[in-house]
Structure 1
């Protein structure tokens, strides 16, 4: 996973009043009022729900924001309870704030079933978010698929040149290649350390930039500069868009639809996400070929090239690296750090009620000396994600999944270092494992595969034929391909 550091500073202030009663939320409200009168973050922090949020930002990311509000907002004189309602397990309490020297102000404070504070309208509005304002379509941004990823054209700062950017929901911000950064005159550059999957890296960090997507301008953007980005791309972006807009990716139309933050109901099945780490994390159920079933918290990651990957600590905790039967081994390279990856078949992968059977997934080998692991369990990658039109609404911690025209397409697979996708009832080389014999033999992305050990695409779409092929991989594997207008037979 990519992880890009962000700093949020706020010079504002806030406070609350006094009520009585025995209900848990009433006791919390009293303590909440007291904490604001004292301008004490430490007294308010224990009153917060685990899902507490300010705008799109979730606990614990909200800590420095809340501290700044509490210490710098107007001095509270008192708080008056107006009304309360219970809906969907949440207590919605309307209260009037009386700040010294200010006009009185009424708004809602929302508590969870245990009486903990989930959000307050006052705090949301300080970050220019109104949960009750109807969400509206702001723009439709076209995209195309390049090298198994979502590619969007974007401009930066005063440059008129368009660049090809990877829309990566597994990145919490923007990253540019060094070559691109030189062209767009990035601003306020300093040296920083940042984290990527299984490693850390020294990078250039820049603040105060503007990103232009079609007619939409996104200002005040921080970014980092890496030596290179994935082949075919000048940069990538992700969380900076999700934090500004309710974001729908429609693979059927080839557009990213951007909606204003507010009251919204998406199309498809809603599933809860955790956005506390500025990445959309979804509960995912996986079953191994030996019948073992486990659940984990996986990033919904359009930038991940695997169908699904379990990271080292989660793999180690559940013995996945030992129990998954290997179809192939690979090595992941990340800024000078490398980790061994095993690819093997999972009998089932489930996102909510959506289930995929006999899917090839990846597990990362655990290295106890590595201290740079990601905090989540793994990533659900592009080959699963592309089967849905999806909408990410981080304001309400929801993702909507809607099966699209590609939902029933067969999954790709990796054999003898060659990653193959089914496309229009044919097989195409998607990528070649770095350092593999297939790479040394000259097999390249884009090659058309006619047969593998005599099996056509139509035959390998059948599960029993595919399993037989994988089980025979210890024997030589023969590919009949067309590449660079030449037909070849290559045995690995």
Structure 2
């Protein structure tokens, strides 16, 4: 999996102020260039260009310091779904006037100012409009986009990875493209941190769209899941992004008033440090619930992983959890021990809880005991790909709509192999612990016709049989597996 923070965020502490009208406080904050004046009037979901929490406060401080407004004037207001929308006029020192809108919630707290969004590259229109429909390759839920970078003419295939806040390629590909290093930065990866190089000011050609001024991180090694690198939340900051797994198409819309089509649920998200977080509740066993904030991570090839600090503080490895596989997760060369097993359920409200979801718990190592990831875990593509999704960072929300894969049984582990259904309805081998005893048997990507004489179609209709042959395997009984090519293997 990949889980990167390519940009550092500074914490700003709130200082209590006397009660003032929001826009009077905003004007005073500009005049004093002090964000503390405004902090008491910010909504808990206050955002700048989709960034919330510490990320929003950091950007607010930069705006107050560098944007020379001397007065703020309210022109009009009207009630909208999320509160009251105000038309606002900012006057700068040189007399220049900027028109903007500001949204206040039902408690009169500031949620966003469109001028602030614009200063950080997020532009809102009165209504969103379709800009591009881009076919993608689907590998068990992983999304592969084809694009070009700078003057390199050959197509480059990148993994769409919302667990990363930018783009990243290997040193080999960077050399081929001719990327010029402009700075160094600290990146947070699963289990630790790495110092990396970054190339700024690049141009990316994606279908009919041209993305300019793009930063690209360079790692010694990069590329997996049939891709040569990753493209992360760069797209999400520029467009409302709709992912249609039923047709393997990504649709990009401009930001603005947008209606979600079909039946589904909207989930509020936060983005304090460059990646989106979803609120989740994990029940390792029935009646033992643990709440946390989990990265929305299309670059992770599992269902759910809980990071080491969350596992340690909640003592999840001794909470009744029964691991079926002990392995390791490796991210950018940093390895952490992991334990995979079935949970009672996992829920992202208001979505229906996922019963029997496979969960991976991260064990301790010298790399991760002092690691502070800023999240409790990561929700991966095996869970996310059961939904068609519309990601709207301007409104800090994701619309989830169950797709064709949604009714299929949950992934399971048999004989050390991670198995599950792909978007074509085929039962496939998704992963392996890589134990020597498994060599020459099943391999990742194998399509399974039947297990213990139960066809993949019958398992879809009667998932209880999966629990039965998994229990038989744990008891030491040999389980016969027939592949689609008629090869028969015993585990």
Asked if residue 445 in structure 1 is aligned to residue 438 in structure 2, the reply is no
* Matching of residues 94-113 of structure 1 within 5 Å: 94-102=87-95, 107-113=100-106
Q: Does 1:295 align with 2:301?
A: no
Structure 1 residues 436 and 221 mapped into 2: Cα distance closer, same or farther (>3 Å)? Answer: farther
TM-score, normalised by the number of residues in structure 1: 0.87
> What displacement does 1:81 show?
4.2
Query: 1:391: Cα distance to partner?
Result: 0.5
1:375, distance to aligned residue in structure 2 (A) = 1.3
Which residue of the partner structure matches residue 378 of structure 2? 379
Q: Distance in 1 between matches of 2:225 and 2:29?
A: 52
Q: 2:83 aligns with which of 63, 80, 90?
A: 90
| Alignment partner, residue 5 of structure 1 | 6
CA distance in 1, matches of 2:59, 2:363: 37
2:30 maps to 1:33: no
Q: What is the CA–CA distance in structure 2 between the aligned matches of 1:232 and 1:103, rounded to whole Å? A: 51
| Secondary structure at the counterpart of residue 179 of structure 1 | helix
- For structure 2, the residue ranges without an aligned partner over 5 or more in a row are 10-17
Q: Secondary structure at 2:464's aligned position in 1?
A: helix
Any residues of structure 2 matched to 1:381-460 within 5 Å, and which? 381-422=380-421, 427-435=427-435, 437-438=437-438, 440-458=439-457, 460=459
Q: In structure 1, which of residues 293, 305, 308 is the aligned counterpart of residue 304 of structure 2? A: 308
CA contact (8 A) 2:412 2:419 kept: yes
Which of 351, 354, 358 aligns to 1:353? It is: 351
Q: 1:200 aligns with which of 193, 206, 219?
A: 193
8 Å CA contact retained: 2:308, 2:361: yes
Separation in 2 of the partners of 1:137 and 1:349? 34
SS in 2 for 1:444: coil
Change (3 A) 1:339 1:130: closer
SS at 1:224 equivalent: strand
Residue of structure 2 aligned with 1:319, choices 310, 315, 322 = 315
Partners of 1:188 and 1:208 within 8 A in 2: no
Are 2:22 and 2:38, in contact at CA under 8 Å, matched by a contact in 1?
A: no
Partners of 1:437 and 1:455 in 2: CA distance: 25
Work out whether 1:475 is the aligned partner of 2:476.
Answer: yes
Q: Deviations over 1:413-471 (max 9, x none)?
A: 22222122235665322222234532x34431222434445544345443332222233
The 2-side partners of 1:425 and 1:115 are apart by 49
Distance 1:179 1:474, change over 3 A: farther
Q: Deviations over 1:90-121 (max 9, x none)?
A: 34344444444415555433333444432223
Task: Say whether 1:285 aligns with 2:281.
Answer: yes
Alpha-carbon offset, residue 156 of structure 1 = 0.6
Equivalent residues, number:
473
CA distance in 1, matches of 2:84, 2:404: 41
Match of 1:56 in 2: 50
Q: Does residue 182 in structure 1 map to residue 175 in structure 2?
A: yes
Structure 2: how far apart are the matches of 1:205 and 1:130?
25
Alignment RMSD, CA only?
A: 2.8
- Match of residue 12 from structure 1: none
**CA gap 1:476/1:192 in 2 versus in 1, 3 angstroms:** farther
Mapped to 2, the partners of 1:425 and 1:416 lie a distance apart of 22
For residues 181 and 28 of structure 1, the distance between their equivalents in structure 2, rounded to whole angstroms, comes to 47
Q: 3-state SS of the aligned residue for 1:354? A: coil
* C-alpha contact (below 8 Å) 2:324/2:416 kept by paired residues: no
How far apart, in 2, do the equivalents of 1:284 and 1:330 lie?
24
Confirm whether residue 224 of structure 1 aligns to residue 217 of structure 2: yes
Deviation by residue 1:278-318 (Cα, 9 ceiling, x = unmatched) = 22221223323443233322222211111122222222233
Q: Which runs of 5+ in 1 are unaligned?
A: 9-22
Query: How does 1:129-168 map onto structure 2 within 5 Å?
Result: 129-146=122-139, 148-168=141-161
SS at match of 2:273: coil
Aligned-pair CA distance for 1:160: 0.8
> In the alignment, which of 221, 224, 232 is matched to residue 238 of structure 1?
232
Q: In 2, Cα distance between the equivalents of 1:429 and 1:244?
A: 36
Residue 253 in 1 paired to residue 251 in 2?
no
1:334 aligned partner: 331
| Distance 1:301-1:361 versus aligned 2 partners, 3 A rule | same
Q: Give the secondary structure class of the aligned counterpart of 1:110.
A: strand
In structure 2, C-alpha distance between the alignment counterparts of 1:213 and 1:431, rounded to whole Å: 30
The normalised TM-score by structure 2 is 0.87
> Could you tell me how far apart the structure 1 residues matched to 2:426 and 2:81 are?
49
Looking at structure 1, the residues matched to 89 and 196 of structure 2 have their Cα atoms a distance apart, in angstroms, of: 47
Contact 1:129/1:262, CA 8 A, preserved across alignment: no
Shift in Å at residue 328 of structure 1? 1.9
In the aligned structure 2, how far is the partner of 1:446 from the partner of 1:80?
A: 61
